[in-house]
Structure 1
Amino acid sequence: MARFISKSLTVKFVVYFILIAVIPIGIVGYLSFYASRDSLLTSYSDKLLATGEDRKNGLIELLEEAMLDLKFLTQIHGVDNVFDFVAARSEKDMIVSREGNKAETELRKKIEVELETTLAAWQRIYGQHNGYRDVLLVSPDGHVVYTLKRESDFAEDLKNGALKDSGLGRVWNRVMKTGKPAFADFAQYQPSSAPTAFAAAPHMAANGKIDGLLIVKLGTEGVNRVFSQAQGLGKTAEAYVVGQDRFMRSNSRFEKSSTILKKKIETEGVKAALEGKSEVRIIEDYRGERVLSFFTPVGIKQNADLGADFDWVMLVEIDESEVMEPVRNLAMKIMGAAALIALAVAIVAFFAAKTITKPVIALSGQMAKASNGDLSIEIPGRDRDDELGVLAKSVHLMLSNLRSQVGKVLEAANVVSTASSEISATAAQVVASTSKTTSAVAESATTAAEVKQSAQVAGEKAKEVAQSAHEAVQTSTNGKKATDDTVSKMSLIRDQMESIGETVVRLSEHSQAIEDIIASVQDIADQSNLLAVNASIEAARAGDHGKGFAVVAHEIKTLADQSKHSTEQVRGILEDTRKWVSAVVMATEQGSKAVAAGVQQAEIAGGAIQTLATGVQGWAQTASMVDASSQQQAAGAEQVSLAMSNIDQAMQQVLAGVSQLETAARRLEDMSKLLSELLSGYKLTA
């Protein structure tokens, strides 16, 4: 129900209008209900109080009237004669008279007839109205000397007999003790077989002493008469009286049989009244019904004229349902009126709500289409001048702006999708190219490392060649010096022929040493040539980075070839020198004939050695240059290797960055496609 109300604006309007109409009625009805309830409770409380006081006064009057009637009886002549007759005779005489004394019997009969006539008339006048059942005359010693009804209590001894604890015995005993009238509460009385109360009054003799008691048996008729009707209160009203033993002393109007001394009342009102409280309030009665009850003590004990040693409580009650019936009728009328008003308001509110909700429903229908993506709708109600017109215009403006924005976003999404596709493709190409470049850089780094190692080896070999070249220069210098000494001293050959042999031998030894040096130089040249070839190969593998190294390798090869050519020349010269030495040896044998030829050959040898020294000096310088170049080549190869490693790392980073760029471009492309799909659901034109 609540969900239905929350979904329907028309229903909400109707409900709100009904609430606006019904709530004031409800408040007024509520106030009227409780005001009427309080007024009724007050009115009925006053009635209960008045009725209760009336019943209580009636009950007290009943008892007081019984006492007055007794006092009146004690003054009647016939009653006086009876008591005089009783006082003049002993108990024994009374018994004899009852047993057959003729004179006494006749006198007694005469007195009884006179008394019976008097009491019968009295009972006929007063007894039926007040519930007097019997009249008894009791002697001071407790014997019942006369009863009008002749029940079994006649001639009973109230002092020591079976009835001493009965109501009759108690009231006789109380009067004899106090000398005043007394009243005994209702109790079951066996001689009468009914609940009976007793009212007793003393008969005073001329000497002021009690010469007898006049006792009246009271039935329940008088009490029931007082409490039988609660006139003017209602159908369920009831007044009843309860004794201290909490048994009823009057009949219940709701019971068919007698409830006197049979029904015990344990209600809250009885308990409070027995405690001396008087109050009007709503309680639960002995039937279990909620009643408006007035309860109060009767005050019998406090009435000195009655001489009672007990008290009763009185309750006057009426059902709460009967008291509240006018209020309920009023409530029903108010609810009926509220229902009619609510119905009328609902009808008016329904049609009024329709005039308001119809454009709202139309607007909500169009907005539902807009929520499904149709932005080409037209908003109704823009021509209205009220708040709904303002709302329709605002919604129309909002949809116009939304159409424009969605169109722009859709175009931007298409552009982003295209651009992201191109970026993704380009990134893929860059990734592929970067991968290849990275592989090439890795290979170049490996080659650079190999070139670096070869350059280190070439440098070491160049150092060895340079060292050998320096040794060859030193040897050539020594040879030149020896040749110069030979030439300078050839003029002394003739004088030193004896030393020619030693000189020739020494020359032969030097020639052999030169031969060894030439062999070493030849080996170095061959190795340099091989090294140059290897360097050329590595330079070719290094590409553009190895061009400078290739030039150096070519120069090394050229120098190696020149060194080889020079060593071959030196070898030829040394070969000639050996021949010449051999000739010198042979010439030495010939003596001075060969001195001139020896000088000439020495000069030739000196020139050749000079030439050799000059060549070896140049070759040594070239070897030094090769060594320096090899060191530079090694340093360059080291730098190339380090640079290629850095390039390789940079390319790896570039490759990772480009891969991320490609991934981001693909995600951007996917998102732009998703955005395009989402926006494609919007209809921008009719």
Structure 2
Amino acid sequence: MFDLFRKSLRSRISLVMALLVMVSSAAIGLLAFHAAENALTDAAFARVKAIAGSRESHIATVIRMRFWQASQVATKSSLIELLKNPDAGTESFVNEELVSTTRLGHWHSLSAVTTSGTIVASSNPSLVGADVGTQSYFDASLVEPTAGDFKRLGDGETGYRVTVPVREPKSSRVVGIILGEAPAEMIRAQLLERSGLGMTGESYLVDDTGLMLTPSRFVSDAEFSVRIGGELAEDVKRGMETARRWHDYREREVIGALASQDMRRMGVPWTLVTEVDFDEALEGALALRYKLAGIALACLLFAIIAGMRISSTLVRPIAELAAAAKRIGDGDLSAVLVDDGSRDEVGVLREAFRAMTANLRKMLGDLQSGIKLVTSSAMEIAASAKQAAASASEQAAIVSQVGSTAEELRQTSQAATSRAQQVVNDAEGAMETGKRGVHAVVGAVEAIGTINQRVQDVAQKNRRLSEQSGQLVEVIDAVQELAEQSNLLAVNASIEAAKAGEQGRGFSVVAAEVRSLAEQSKRATQQIRRTLLEIQRSAEDAVATTTDSKARVEDGTRAMQAVRGVFDQISGALEESSDRSRQIAATSRQQAAGVNQIAQAMSSLTQAAHDSASMAHQLEQSASKLRGLGVGLKEVTSRYGIADTAFTEV
């Protein structure tokens, strides 16, 4: 099946049209169904809400009627007097009135209750004396009418409570209430009405706790025993009126509505619930779904038939074109398409195919002529390429030899440059050594000058020492002369002491000591004099020596200055030699640079020669390929049966 669709354009067109119709029909159907479903859903919600509102309004009307009946009883003067004065003894009359009203108004019971909550009169004698003041509704009953407390009455019927306040006519003072128990027959009859709810719909009352107050259509004994729950119970507790989908007490999906506003405005805490099963409420949408499916199927069949007819009209001329193209592909250029007069896209394609076939015939003829020219040109190019390759190879060999010579010259130039640079380095080292020698000589001259100055200073100091030594000798001579005089005086004193006898003995001792000291001083001065004379002679010798050293230092200074002059000459000669060596090295570097450029040029020339030879070989190969291409083209064109009398294979 897949191969059929792949090979048949007609099948593909039919399939595409069917798919387009099916997709469009499905889209339109889905949109229509969605819109219809929404419309039917909205209509179902509106219908259920209207039914709930109508029934809730009817129940509110029934309760208002009960309020009115009880209010009429509350206006009776005998009842008002009894409630004002329970001991007046009129209760029997009031009881009769209550019994009559109960029977006429279809009440279960009617009772008169004082403001303290005591029943003082009733249509049901068993209730007289009962206290209802503790009931939750009692306080509200003294203010306004109330209703509620759905329950089973004494006779098994279901009923509810109704209260209205009793007021004194003049002062409007509340003197009691009318308490009635009304049967729920009319309310239940309204809820049991099935019109508009189909086979699955129902209505029932619940209180604020969700407890069902009326019977269920589908569950027996649901009254006062079944409670609704979930969000629905919350909506009931809040007194909301709504219409939506939910799950009922049987867990079935339903469309329902809540209605309670009229009853709650009267203080009645009930909510009417109306429900219909979801499937029944939207059975119209299901029927519409089947109708739309049938329409879509019919459209699909129509699309398939129309697609086959249209594809036949389109495919037939295309099939003719395909057959002609196959013949041309097999080498038969004689295929001709007849002009069918069509001017649509297929007709334009047919005409273009005819023009293409004619152009192809002409092009193949031109191609064979070109092949001949290409083949002959390829032969000439191949011969020229061989000759060019041989010349290029010879040139490459010559250039390679010249390049080798240039490389040797470059290496020789580099060696000469290296040696010249070494000479420059040696000359600069010798020049630096000469400069250091000059600096050393200058330092030696300066040191000799310093020594000469020091020798002069020493000679000066020695001369001063000699002079001072002479002065000290003179001082010593004076001291020696003084010692001799002291000795002489001591001798004289001894003589005089001897003359004095015993009295001069002490003086003679002193004189002896003085003479002894004088002798010692004389000897010491003589020793000092000899020492000073030796110092003086040594100083004089030192002066003579320093004078001789000074002369020698001056000779050394002159000699060092002569050496400095020689070193200056050597340094100048070395500097001149270094400059010339640098010039030689610079010239050698320039020559080396030139030789390098020559070597590089020869290398580039060698590469160019090799490239030329390579290109010549490539050209020869390309010419050979071109010749092969001509042969191949000849074989290709020969398939189409076109004459090539001038073609010659190389």
Name the TM-score, length of structure 1 as normaliser: 0.49
1:51 counterpart = 2:25: no
1:297 counterpart = 2:260: yes
1:339 counterpart = 2:305: no
Match of 1:200?
Answer: 163
Q: Is the 8 A contact 2:393 2:609 kept in 1?
A: no
Gaps of 5+ in 1: 91-107, 448-645
Structure 1 segment 19-30 matched on structure 2, within 5 A? none
Letter in 2 for 1:215: L
Q: Distance in 1 between matches of 2:603 and 2:217?
A: 122
Match of 2:356?
Answer: 398
235-244 vs 660-669, which moves further: 235-244
Match of 2:203?
Answer: 239
Residue 378 of structure 1, CA deviation: 2.5
Judged with a 3 Å threshold, the aligned counterparts in structure 2 of structure 1 residues 213 and 418 are, in CA distance, closer, same or farther, namely same
Q: Distance in 1 between matches of 2:51 and 2:607?
A: 116
Match of 1:215?
Answer: 179
SS at match of 1:299: helix
1:665 counterpart = 2:628: no
Judged with a 3 Å threshold, the aligned counterparts in structure 2 of structure 1 residues 45 and 435 are, in CA distance, closer, same or farther, namely closer
Q: Distance in 2 between matches of 1:321 and 1:16?
A: 37
Q: Distance in 1 between matches of 2:372 and 2:124?
A: 129
Q: Distance in 2 between matches of 1:215 and 1:422?
A: 136
Structure 1 segment 64-83 matched on structure 2, within 5 A? 64-70=64-70
Match of 2:640?
Answer: 684
54-63 vs 438-447, which moves further: 438-447
Match of 2:378?
Answer: 420
Match of 1:171?
Answer: 137
1:376 counterpart = 2:333: yes
User: Deviations along 1:65-121, whole A, 9 cap, x unmatched?
Assistant: 33345457779999999989974589xxxxxxxxxxxxxxxxx9xx79x97998599
Q: Distance in 2 between matches of 1:442 and 1:40?
A: 103
Judged with a 3 Å threshold, the aligned counterparts in structure 2 of structure 1 residues 400 and 145 are, in CA distance, closer, same or farther, namely same
Q: Distance in 2 between matches of 1:117 and 1:684?
A: 129
Residue 123 of structure 1, CA deviation: 6.5
Q: Distance in 2 between matches of 1:267 and 1:443?
A: 109
Match of 2:62?
Answer: 62
Letter in 2 for 1:350: M
Residue 343 of structure 1, CA deviation: 0.6
Letter in 2 for 1:657: S
Name the Cα RMSD after superposition.
Answer: 5.8
Q: Distance in 1 between matches of 2:315 and 2:377?
A: 49
User: Deviations along 1:5-63, whole A, 9 cap, x unmatched?
Assistant: 89864345435655787799779867865775676567556644542342122211222
Letter in 2 for 1:337: I
Q: Distance in 2 between matches of 1:194 and 1:4?
A: 80
Match of 2:647?
Answer: none
Name the TM-score, length of structure 2 as normaliser: 0.51
Letter in 1 for 2:62: L
Judged with a 3 Å threshold, the aligned counterparts in structure 2 of structure 1 residues 393 and 675 are, in CA distance, closer, same or farther, namely farther
Q: Distance in 2 between matches of 1:30 and 1:264?
A: 36
Match of 2:322?
Answer: 364
Residue 660 of structure 1, CA deviation: 0.5
SS at match of 1:232: coil
Judged with a 3 Å threshold, the aligned counterparts in structure 2 of structure 1 residues 399 and 358 are, in CA distance, closer, same or farther, namely same
SS at match of 1:665: helix
Q: Is the 8 A contact 2:99 2:122 kept in 1?
A: no
Letter in 2 for 1:376: L
77-86 vs 410-419, which moves further: 77-86
Judged with a 3 Å threshold, the aligned counterparts in structure 2 of structure 1 residues 437 and 326 are, in CA distance, closer, same or farther, namely closer
Match of 1:595?
Answer: none
SS at match of 1:170: coil
Match of 1:142?
Answer: 117
Q: Distance in 2 between matches of 1:374 and 1:381?
A: 20
Judged with a 3 Å threshold, the aligned counterparts in structure 2 of structure 1 residues 271 and 413 are, in CA distance, closer, same or farther, namely farther
1:226 counterpart = 2:190: yes
Letter in 1 for 2:191: F
Q: Distance in 2 between matches of 1:440 and 1:363?
A: 67
User: Deviations along 1:106-157, whole A, 9 cap, x unmatched?
Assistant: xx9xx79x97998599579835xxxx5x666656543467888899x98654
Structure 1 segment 282-321 matched on structure 2, within 5 A? 282-284=244-246, 286=248, 293-303=256-266, 308=267, 310-319=268-277, 321=279
SS at match of 2:179: strand
Q: Distance in 2 between matches of 1:322 and 1:227?
A: 20
Residue 340 of structure 1, CA deviation: 1.3
Q: How many residues align?
A: 443
Letter in 2 for 1:684: Y
Q: Distance in 2 between matches of 1:124 and 1:365?
A: 105
User: Deviations along 1:168-195, whole A, 9 cap, x unmatched?
Assistant: x1233433x33x5432444899x99999
Letter in 1 for 2:385: A
Judged with a 3 Å threshold, the aligned counterparts in structure 2 of structure 1 residues 282 and 184 are, in CA distance, closer, same or farther, namely closer
SS at match of 2:51: helix
Judged with a 3 Å threshold, the aligned counterparts in structure 2 of structure 1 residues 426 and 315 are, in CA distance, closer, same or farther, namely same
SS at match of 1:183: strand
SS at match of 2:163: strand
Between the aligned residues of both structures, percent identity stands at 17
User: Deviations along 1:291-345, whole A, 9 cap, x unmatched?
Assistant: 6555443323434xxxx3x544445444554444324423432331232133123
Judged with a 3 Å threshold, the aligned counterparts in structure 2 of structure 1 residues 414 and 244 are, in CA distance, closer, same or farther, namely farther
User: Deviations along 1:641-680, whole A, 9 cap, x unmatched?
Assistant: xxxxx99998985664243122133135336646865885
User: Deviations along 1:449-505, whole A, 9 cap, x unmatched?
Assistant: xxxxxxxxxxxxxxxxxxxxxxxxxxxxxxxxxxxxxxxxxxxxxxxxxxxxxxxxx
Q: Is the 8 A contact 1:278 1:294 kept in 2?
A: yes
SS at match of 2:614: helix
Q: Distance in 2 between matches of 1:184 and 1:443?
A: 133
Gaps of 5+ in 2: 406-600, 643-650
Q: Distance in 1 between matches of 2:397 and 2:365?
A: 47
SS at match of 1:657: helix
1:385 counterpart = 2:385: no
Judged with a 3 Å threshold, the aligned counterparts in structure 2 of structure 1 residues 31 and 23 are, in CA distance, closer, same or farther, namely same
Judged with a 3 Å threshold, the aligned counterparts in structure 2 of structure 1 residues 212 and 389 are, in CA distance, closer, same or farther, namely closer
Q: Distance in 2 between matches of 1:429 and 1:367?
A: 48
Q: Distance in 1 between matches of 2:253 and 2:236?
A: 18
Match of 1:158?
Answer: 132
SS at match of 2:136: helix
Q: Distance in 2 between matches of 1:125 and 1:21?
A: 71
Q: Distance in 1 between matches of 2:45 and 2:632?
A: 84
Letter in 2 for 1:158: V
Match of 2:541?
Answer: none
SS at match of 1:258: coil
User: Deviations along 1:587-642, whole A, 9 cap, x unmatched?
Assistant: xxxxxxxxxxxxxxxxxxxxxxxxxxxxxxxxxxxxxxxxxxxxxxxxxxxxxxxx
Q: Is the 8 A contact 1:14 1:349 kept in 2?
A: yes
